[in-house]
Structure 1
Amino acid sequence: MQQDAPDDTPALQVVLFGELVLRNTENTVLEINSRRGRILLAMLCLSPDQPLRREFLSKLIWEGRFRPQARASLRQCLHELNRELQTFGLDVLETSNMQIALRAGTVQTDLQALEASLSDGDPEKATNILNQIAGQRLLESVDLGEAFETWLAAQRLQVENRLRRGVERLLSDLKARNEDADLNALQTAWQHWSRPVLPRPATTLAILPFSLRNELGGDYFLAEGTADELSARLSLQTDISLAGRTSVEAICGQGLTAPEIAGRLGVSHLVEGSVHRSAQGVSLTISLVDGTTGRQFWTDRVEATEAEFFNARVMIGSNVLAGLYDALGIAERATGTPRRMTANRDAYALYLQGRSLTQKAMIEGALSKAVDFLEQAVQLDPEFAEAWTALAEAHISAIVYTPCLDKVERSEMAAEFARRALELNPRQGYAYAILSIHEWTCFNPARALEYAMQAYSLEPNNADVTMRLGSCLLYLGRTRDALPYIEAAIEQDPVYARNYAMLCIAHLNLGDFGKALAAGERMVDLNMPGLHLALVQAAMGDHDAAVATYYDARRFVGTMIMSPPGATEISDEARDFYLLTAAKGICSGDPDARQTYCNLVDMLHETLPEPYDPTVAWPAVFMGHADLAMKIFRERIHPANMPALMNLWADVDPLNRIRQHPDFMAFAEDIGLVDAWEKYGWPDLMPSDPR
């Protein structure tokens, strides 16, 4: 028999985590037919003590409508919602001409209950609630367009950080009282909830490079353009995960069979295609291949004129996509208006060339040519949003992979191009990722994290966007939060060495040396300098192996490891002597060798034209040379040296010497870290403000 609820029990009980559920005091589920009415009610419940302005609600919930239409729709929605609530005997809304609010004391949510249990110091209740909502995000299935999704992503981040601070305070109290059982239970429950669940769709595809037979000549890049368009259209489907193009390019051309390619990329299916250009027009043949057997089990052929291909972009039309989805056994989801791209064939060809060269950053001169091609593309079509994003990316790559002296200025230029792309197309998630990178150079990591979250909300299937969010969290010292995003990026882009460098350091920061070692070895297998692997080997006490691994990086000098800009060329003998000194100073565990290298890096910082170059900044962090490292990053952060920040968070000597320095918190305030921590959560190694 249902017990009567206490007199002070709120009339409406709302479940916000997972599916939105409304119940009355008798625990009966209440069905509200108006979808936007349910969403409006949920928005109020996220902050039940704060009214929301009508203007804000009408613009967000009725995105795209004219202002009078949106306001009229809000009035009608409120009328219907009130009528439905009143049929259940509920009077919970207070409305005025300007705003809408919940009537005080009439609504109770699971979020409120959790926050109250943390505030009241009730670990048992908090643990129970966290276990009940494990793996569930706020308003899991609510979908109402781009603007709402961006707003909801910000709300989720704010809620997570409020809860994090509450959990950290309660854990600190439990630790002080030696209540280990409650502490461990609460900590485990929090980790189960806060660790993001990033399931990979069952259907995983790799789009292989399309072949081209061109009877007429000319550099129109039809094959690349067709594959690019197919990738763009498929990436909008949440039921499909696409392998990253970096990994696809690394695998193709090795003479592997279809099952071998699918196995290396970790995908279930491959897409192959060929384009034929002749005087009669352009034809496309596209096929779907089973990744396990190599059997081709679906194919289609499309013919069009060149004008149709470039101007209407019909080569990858609805019929092709419908056939592909049917063959995969998935339902096509509405994705809105297809991207405009450009109708200018020359601009499009330049865009494809520029983007391809950006991916070949290690080839001498590739990035300067990429920038030149992309600048021409946006001159030909100033409204070509993708080209503006690609131009921004090329400049960031040039900062990282070429010896330039104007790194911060180039970062600002990249941010300007990214902002231009977003003006033209607000769905350019990777443009937000570029802005995230630039905010670090402005000593604003809090804003960097916000941009990274915004990028991920728009392009969760883009491995580069996912890794950007993971790396941003890693630089902030929130390694446990970063790890799922890093792992998800690797699932999509499994043959990209950079991703394993991030994974290697993440596991080192968490003290899981075995996994860090495996990730570092995989990074080296993919032909990347083993600097991070050497740090792991040194942390494990294998100093001889660490010195040898670090010294082996001399093979990459001039390619992945650039000489400092403006520095004079040195002989091979001098290079080898320097790298052996570095290897011993960082990895040998010998204090004299460390001091010798510290002195050498101090000298380089004083004499190099670019005193903040990675050849100075990274070793300063690797050696735990706190005074120099803090001086460098206080004065200048740029995209080439910022990855060294992720090495501040390993609790091993000498990496931990910077964090243990008495000036560290003042340093963290100066470069914006403390502001980010106060807003979005403290690092794993500092669960609460040590000040």
Structure 2
Amino acid sequence: MAVSRQPVVVRSSAPASTDRQNADPSFRGSPLGRRASDRIRPACYDRGGRQFPFWCGMAGPTLRLLGGFSLADDGGRALPLRGRKAQLLLAYVALTAPRPISRERLAALLWEDCEERRALHSLRQCLMELRHLGEQAGVDLIRTDRNDVSLALPPECVDGVMAERLAREGTPESLRAAAALCAGPLLPEAEACSDGVDDWLAGERARFARLAAGILARLTAWCEAEGDRDGVASTAEHWLALDPACEEAHRALMRLHARNGRRSDAVRQYRICADAVRRCLDAEPEEETVELLHGIRDRHPAEAETVAEQPAGLLPDLSRSSRPVLPDRPSLAVLPFGTLGGPSEGGGFADGVAADVLVRLSRLRSLFVIARGSSFRFRGAQIDPCTVGRALGVRYLASGAIRTDGRRLRLTVELVEAETGAVMWSDIYDRRLDGVFDLQDELATRIAAALDDEIEAAEMRRALTVPPSSLDGWSAYHRGLWHMYRFTRDDNETARGLFQQALRTDPLSARLYAGLSFTHFQDAFLHRTGQRGIEAEHAYRFAEQSVGLDERDPTSHLALGRALWLLGRQDDAVEELSLAVGFNPNFALGHYSLAFVQAQGGDARAALGAADVAQRLSPFDPLLFGMLGARALACLNLKEHAQAALWGDRAARRPNAHVHIQAIAAFSNALADRREEAGGYARRIRETAPSYRCDDFLAAFHTLTPSVVDLIRRVGPSIGLQS
């Protein structure tokens, strides 16, 4: 699972991919060198035979909020609304439409520091300014009565509202029109005038950033599938104008250059990507990006195929049905997988995989999964995610399509956010059609694990957009997870506080106690407090409470297994961790923890096997550095020092790799006689943790075999890490 990220935005007035243009002067004359807004914008949008302006669903006045504030009348003439509060008021009313908003709420929001009477007076002045401007231009902007304010403009005249509607339609034309609307962040020039406005702006900016990313991801995939190379170029460059560190967009351009026979341009695009990721995120490119680079350099890859389904239209209108309320837990419907040609029995295989995925996910207590009898009713329908999501009362939809060709099978799977239609995750599985039942089992296992991880990541991102004062227990838990996996002292403290906050509203949540246990595990393992024994006892106590609340939750047994390892109870730790993966065989973190424990003082071969399973289940996990580090430790145990150095290098390059991971890389390289590389890691350790010594490493990995301990004590001083 890739590291969760908030999009990094640039002002819409800046040229797209300035770094790219500076790096390659010839780039300016190519289709990629033009401004993103000039390349992606269609002249008009056709709906039902009627032509409308590309950025609006109907002729009439227009209100732009994405990329900057602007207001125009029917003829396109700018309406000068200069007051900062008036702009915020109109934007708030427009994005809340069609619901009316009480005057008291608007006054309290925009004039938070004023007493009520003065705030209401200021609101009246603001409303008068809007009415006067509208009357001059012959445009109704707002509608008011004694109590409420609402939008008089048709919602389709607001760019943000129209972008959401077009995204839900999901056709190439609507996606292009929606992409043209995503010119930048919401109201980038707006300054918060109160805490309430600040919270609202932050939440709405994050929402529209997610919407833009989903639109551009779908449009890029569509263009790649159709072989529309100009479309890939324009869409990916537009995406990078909004998020310069978006690796998915960089990869699309790398593939495009490779298909056009321009390997040097593909390599140059990778360098631009790496620079942007380091500058914006203080991280290294994802493994998928690095592997694509190696493939382009080394193997002259043929043009990759992308399976893309025919765009979804609308299902029969289900909006009048009683709409189920979204449950507290993340909710998912697994829709029947379709077939794209191939033998007639392909439909049975597709049904089998989808049903097996549903069964595996239904075992997870963290998910609310719709039963097959309801989700499979949408077989063969053209699916609008928003409509299906409302009908089933779920936040996420999983769907797939199978294509067969002789003895080969290709399965494409997608996870979609029902509310926006944004694609949260997709993957392609290519397999030989040998041993159908084994293949069905393998695919279902991998897909279920990937969906579980991606939904968890999506919930973390969602929680980050909720103002702290509005966090419920579930959101506080997921925001805590995000901080916990950053592995810094401050983030760990923040995570602990969020878990404790969530416990006040949900005191019987086993997962919250498991989270608290892991925060103390971190402090013990990374020697943050100087009280390792006390932290280990806290980790054990909270893990026991977690198991006591839900003895069948794999996360609870994971927490207890790690705490037992801290206390030196190796065999008990392995037993608890085995229970965790027994309750959920797709639990990547459980398999990783088994690898971590076994790699040190247990069965090193079993550790490598567990690491294999963990990586196969979650190839982009936030703890991938730990999985790779466990491999390195297992190889040290097996006296395979060159292999240990290889895995140590890969672990140290991963985001959030802490000082112990850097030390694994240093010792492994030293034992493999790669002194220069080992010295580089040692220097990095001294820069971040000047007092770090061999003894700190050995205290953390306290169950290492005596032979490995002796080797580390021997090579440590030679690279500057004293005992």
TM (norm. structure 1) is 0.39
Q: TM (normalized to structure 2)?
A: 0.38
